[in-house]
Chains A and B, each alone.
Chain A
Amino acid sequence: MPMFNWTIIGTWVAGFFTLSLFSFLYKDNPFYRFAEHVFAGLSAGYYIGLIYHSVILAQLVQPIEEHWAAAATGPDVGHHIMKVAFLLFAGFMGVLMFARFFPKVSWISRYPLAFVMGNTAGIELMSRLHGMVLPQMRATFVDLNASFGNVVLNLIILVGVLTTLIYFYFSKEHKGVLGVTARVGIWFIMIAFGAHFGYTVMARVSLLIGQVNFIFIDWLKIIS
């Protein structure tokens, strides 16, 4: 019985799909369409399988089974029963999300959604304030004991932050001092856009280089 080398077969399949997707650069064609549809279908299937195993089984069914068994045999019965109750409640809330598919009872899905929104807002608010806003604000303070060069750089940061914030202040018409300051803010924003654009070009070229590397190194093995 012949032995298949699945790595080689997988590499050739990946090579075929890479070229099929690149073929769109010439013009739309059946190979591109085929590769696009296979990718969409595979991703959906992979996600369903992954979520089933890593969420429904691993985070709901298995813990319920384990805590149920522990409650039946060991100490801390109350603790395990409570865990099972929490998990069943979470699972029930998850099932309620599907109510939105039934127009007559779709309003029920708002309850689990409200739970998720409240939970997320609480976590986000504190973590963003504590971990982002305050430390970033603190970083704009100018250290006057630093070297002359660093003081100048810190001042540039301070001016950049203040003028950019003023540009986004829309409660007063941008005229006079406010207008000039906002205009300086626009310059800082434009420089930031330029940096982002440069990095984006690098990122996209990197992806192309990655696939070209795959073709010549991993697939065709022309370059070692």
Chain B
Amino acid sequence: MNFWEKLGKLDRRLVYSMVAVTVIIPLFVPLNLPIDITPEARELYNSVEALPDSSVVLLTFDYYASTVAETEPMSIAVLNQLFRKNMKVITMTTIPLGGPTIAQNVMKMMAAKYGKKYGIDYVNLGYKANYTAVLKGMGVSIASIYPTDQNGTPLSQLPLMQHVKNYGDISYIFVVADNAILDYWISIVNAQYQIPIGAGTTAVMAPKYYSYVQSGQMTGLLGGMKGAAEYELLVHAKGKAVLGMNSQSMVHLLIIAFVILGNVALFTSRRKVHANV
């Protein structure tokens, strides 16, 4: 058995171990690899930056706990930008499993960082079932869909919500999602109410949504951990995404090496089979 045949029969656990080591080492020894900013991320940043101070922005936490590695850094990065510009932030989620808790924890952390007051600077509407009805209904009246906020306080008792009745009072919607709910934000809210939308999605979803940036239906897009890292750099608040990109780049190099070696091993073994026939 030659080298290529042995490679073809490599124990998969050895491959897993190599991936694990490649992920862990850059966390301890930061490589500070460069991260370039894509035009879609820069356009997203610029569109939020162009909003007047104190504008009302709706930020959604439409993601499950399983994808926080990609999505949570996006929420944190954009909140850095929004709170620095003294924007009024309304948050909500259409995801039952994890969404409400993540939104609560992130908002609490970021509000404490910037000294923002609940009810005046930001409001967390929480979770509501049946996203199609929620998205359509909020165009008529937010209070009819969310009579109370996440804590059960009637919206009429929250100063921020005195001036926000429906989408017409919202300047921008920033969707952070790990599922097809973004389709509905585009097709229902952007198309029917003409509210500008920007989004951060998981990497799996990103290729689909670039076409919506090209068509002008979204102002910009963040794709996966790379997109989150780009936004952290744009808002000058490096976080877990920038830290993780070192590991990401190294693992990609490893996978490229695996793909090349695997293909060479396959072709070599095929040639041997043909030679023996």
A contact residues vs B (CB 8 Å cutoff): 25-26, 43, 46-47, 50-51, 54-55, 59, 120, 123, 127-128, 130-132, 135-136, 138-139, 157, 192, 195-196, 199-203, 205-213, 216-217, 223
- B55: CB under 8 A from chain A? no
Given known contacts A201-B252, A213-B69, A206 and B203 CB-to-CB distance under 8 angstroms: yes
CB atoms of B255 and A201 under 8 A apart = yes
Across the A-B interface, the 8 shortest Cβ-Cβ residue pairs: A210-B69, A131-B187, A131-B191, A139-B215, A203-B203, A206-B225, A127-B187, A202-B203
Which among B20, B68, B184, B207 is the interface contact of A210 at CB below 8 angstroms? Answer: B68
Tell me, rounded to whole Å, the shortest Cβ–Cβ distance linking A48 to chain B. Answer: 11
Known: A46-B97, A131-B191, A196-B207. A51 touches B129 (CB 8 A): yes
B residues sitting closer than 8 Å to A (CB atoms) are 13, 16, 19-20, 23-24, 27-28, 66-70, 96-97, 127-129, 132, 136, 183-184, 186-188, 190-192, 202-204, 206-207, 211-212, 214-217, 223-226, 240, 243-244, 247-248, 251-252, 255
- Classify the secondary structure of B's interface with A: helix
User: Secondary structure at chain A's binding surface: helix, strand, loop or mixed?
Assistant: helix
Chain A residues with CB under 8 A of B207? 192, 195-196, 199
Q: How far apart sit A223 and B206, CA to CA, in the bound complex (Å)? A: 30
B184 and A127 contact, CB distance less than 8 A = yes
Partner among B187, B214, B255 whose Cβ is within 8 Å of the Cβ of A130: B187
**Which residue of chain A has the shortest Cβ distance to B96 in the bound complex?**
A50
Other CB < 8 Å A-B pairs besides A196-B207, A202-B248, A212-B24, 17 of them? A50-B97, A50-B127, A51-B129, A59-B128, A127-B187, A132-B183, A132-B186, A139-B215, A139-B216, A199-B203, A202-B226, A203-B203, A205-B19, A206-B202, A209-B23, A209-B69, A213-B240
Q: Within 8 Å CB of A200, what residues of B?
A: 203-204
- Pick 19 A–B contacts, CB within 8 A, sort by A: A25-B13, A46-B96, A51-B96, A51-B129, A123-B136, A131-B188, A135-B191, A157-B214, A202-B224, A203-B202, A205-B251, A208-B20, A209-B23, A209-B244, A209-B247, A210-B240, A210-B244, A212-B24, A217-B240
- Smallest CB separation, B178 vs chain A (Å): 9
- B188 near A127 with CB under 8 A, answer yes
- Within 8 Å CB of B187, what residues of A? 127-128, 130-132
Given A47-B97, A205-B252, the answer on whether A54 and B215 have CB atoms closer than 8 Å is no
Q: Is the CB of A139 within 8 A of B248?
A: no
Please state if A209 and B248 are interface contacts (CB–CB under 8 Å): yes
